[in-house]
């Protein structure tokens, strides 16, 4: 399977005085066209920093320390600013939790869409207007002409989020990075937005990196799931395997504490202990203080890398959970 987006060993740190926060600590994954990878983890584990790093948007005092991002095989971090700007919003677009951070409050919705279209294409003004109305109509926003002339404060949260998706998809991107796209919305609006995103994936073959706390959303949309803890991916597998056969003790704790998949829209439950501070080097597995499965290697060895523990199922753990019905890992 060819990948459209590939992230290799990405590291992001924030530097505050002599403190360094390792927000993303060597993350790798790949995304294929038309597939959805969900990135799941507790607050502060580095999900947003990772998403921002993909498009070189990490704000100061943060910076991308190392790693590579490939879009269609091209090294994004080696591109000049103009090339990255052309990529952003066109081939790869982002949807954030809070439309206020993505929409300009003093520009009408239509002007914002037209601005994006004209920044990335050479279409005429009337053509940009036509594309704008079509994009709003695709989001099933009622009376697109009226919405185009409205300002964000005229619209409800759900409508603003649909406008954000119209903006994110008007140029038919190949990848959408959606960072908690529905967590500010009520359940009904959430369902509409997620259905729309999933429809775009299916009809346009868009690849989606979906960042969420909500295991109901993961169960409903994701093909593949990456569980992030303290700046690293600690487990990655198909959604079914993660839910039914978690291997990392952290993921197993999340799944055991979760409300049932058949009761959607319920959130990650806290598990015993608290997430570590991401300061300084990580000499050992960051989950050690909270782990009931720790063995002596966990205390004496550095944090283990992701390894295949069953077929296409990866975990970063010295003592992964045993699952009797796992297919064996392939031999290296």
Ligand X SMILES: Nc1ncnc2c1ncn2[C@@H]1O[C@H](COP(=O)(O)OP(=O)(O)OP(=O)(O)O)[C@@H](O)[C@H]1O
* Chain contacts with ligand SF4 (rule: CB under 6 A): 248-249, 285, 287-288, 291, 293-294, 298, 304, 317-319
Burial class of 183 by CB neighbour count within 10 A (0 to 12, 13 to 18, 19+): middle
Q: Which does 328 bind (CB under 5 to 8 A by kind): ligand X, ligand SF4, Mg ion, none?
A: none
Judged by beta carbon, residue 101 or residue 300, the one nearer ligand X is 101
Taking the C-alpha atoms of residue 319 and residue 293, their distance in angstroms, rounded to an integer, is 7
DSSP 26-64: EEEEEE-TT-EEEEE--TTSSHHHHHHHHTT-PPTTEEE
Task: By CB under 5 A, name the one of 24, 38, 41, 48 that touches Mg ion.
Answer: 48
Judged by beta carbon, residue 152 or residue 246, the one nearer ligand SF4 is 246
Q: Which does 14 bind (CB under 5 to 8 A by kind): ligand X, Mg ion, ligand SF4, none?
A: ligand X
Least distance between ligand X and beta carbon 269 (Å): 15
Least distance between ligand SF4 and beta carbon 251 (Å): 10
Judged by beta carbon, residue 209 or residue 226, the one nearer ligand SF4 is 226
Q: Which does 298 bind (CB under 5 to 8 A by kind): ligand SF4, Mg ion, ligand X, none?
A: ligand SF4
Count Cβ atoms below 10 Å from residue 225 Cβ, excluding itself. Answer: 26
- Based on its alpha-carbon atoms, the radius of gyration of the chain, rounded to whole angstroms, reads 21
Count Cβ atoms below 10 Å from residue 302 Cβ, excluding itself. Answer: 11
Residues lying near ligand X in the complex (CB under 6 A) are found at 14, 21, 23, 41, 43-49, 59, 61-62, 278
Judged by beta carbon, residue 113 or residue 227, the one nearer ligand X is 227
Least distance between ligand X and beta carbon 17 (Å): 11
Least distance between Mg ion and beta carbon 54 (Å): 14
Q: Which does 193 bind (CB under 5 to 8 A by kind): Mg ion, ligand X, ligand SF4, none?
A: none
Q: Is 298 helix (H, G, I), strand (E, B) or coil?
A: helix
Q: Is 88 helix (H, G, I), strand (E, B) or coil?
A: strand
Q: Is-contact 304 224, C-beta < 8 A?
A: no
Least distance between ligand X and beta carbon 98 (Å): 11
Judged by beta carbon, residue 205 or residue 304, the one nearer ligand SF4 is 304
Least distance between ligand X and beta carbon 182 (Å): 14
- State residue 254 phi and psi, 5-degree precision: -60, -45
Judged by beta carbon, residue 99 or residue 246, the one nearer ligand SF4 is 246
Tell me the torsion sign for CA atoms 295, 298, 299, 300: positive
Query: Residue 279 gets which letter from DSSP?
Result: B
Q: Which does 59 bind (CB under 5 to 8 A by kind): Mg ion, ligand SF4, ligand X, none?
A: ligand X
Per CB under 5 A, 49 contacts Mg ion: no
Q: Which alpha helices (H) appear in 88-156, and where do they start and end? A: 99-102, 109-120, 125-138, 144-149
Query: Residue 214 gets which letter from DSSP?
Result: B
Q: Using alpha carbons, select from 4, 22, 26 the residue that is nearest to residue 76.
A: 4
Least distance between ligand SF4 and beta carbon 173 (Å): 36
DSSP E strands, the chain: 5-16, 19-31, 36-40, 62-71, 74-75, 92-95, 175-179, 207-212, 224-229, 232-238, 307-310, 313-315
Judged by beta carbon, residue 216 or residue 246, the one nearer ligand SF4 is 246
Least distance between ligand SF4 and beta carbon 198 (Å): 32
Judged by beta carbon, residue 9 or residue 297, the one nearer ligand X is 9
The residues that touch Mg ion, with contacts defined as CB under 5 A, are: 47-48
């Amino acid at each position: 399977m060819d990948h459209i987006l590939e992230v290799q060993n990405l590291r992001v740190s924030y530097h505050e005085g002599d403190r360094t926060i390792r927000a993303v600590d060597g993350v790798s994954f790949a995304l294929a066209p038309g597939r959805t990878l969900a990135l799941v983890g507790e607050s502060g584990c580095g999900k947003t920093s990772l998403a921002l790093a993909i498009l070189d948007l990490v704000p100061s005092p943060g910076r991308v320390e190392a790693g590579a991002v490939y879009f269609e095989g091209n090294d994004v971090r080696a591109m000049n600013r103009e090339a990255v700007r052309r990529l952003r919003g066109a081939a790869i677009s982002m949807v954030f939790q809070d439309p206020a951070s993505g929409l300009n409050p003093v520009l009408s919705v239509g002007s914002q869409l037209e601005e994006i279209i004209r920044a990335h294409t050479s279409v005429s003004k009337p053509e940009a207007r036509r594309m704008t109305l079509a994009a709003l109509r695709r989001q099933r926003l009622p009376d697109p002409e009226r919405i185009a002339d409205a300002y964000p404060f005229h619209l409800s949260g759900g409508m603003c989020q649909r406008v954000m998706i119209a903006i994110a998809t008007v140029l038919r991107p190949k990848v959408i990075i959606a960072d908690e796209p529905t967590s500010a919305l009520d359940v009904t609006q959430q369902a509409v937005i997620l259905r729309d995103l999933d429809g775009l994936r299916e009809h346009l073959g868009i690849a989606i990196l979906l960042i969420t706390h909500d295991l109901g959303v993961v169960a409903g949309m994701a093909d593949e799931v990456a569980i992030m803890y303290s700046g690293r991916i600690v487990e990655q597998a198909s959604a079914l395997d993660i839910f039914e056969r978690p291997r990392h003790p952290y993921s197993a704790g999340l799944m055991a504490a979760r409300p049932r998949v058949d009761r959607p829209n319920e959130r990650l439950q806290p598990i015993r202990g608290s997430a570590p501070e991401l300061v300084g080097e990580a000499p050992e597995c960051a989950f050690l203080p909270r782990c009931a499965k720790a063995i002596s290697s966990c205390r004496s060895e550095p944090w283990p890398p992701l390894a295949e523990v069953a077929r296409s199922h990866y975990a970063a753990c010295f003592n992964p959970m045993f699952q009797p019905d796992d297919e064996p890992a392939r031999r290296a």
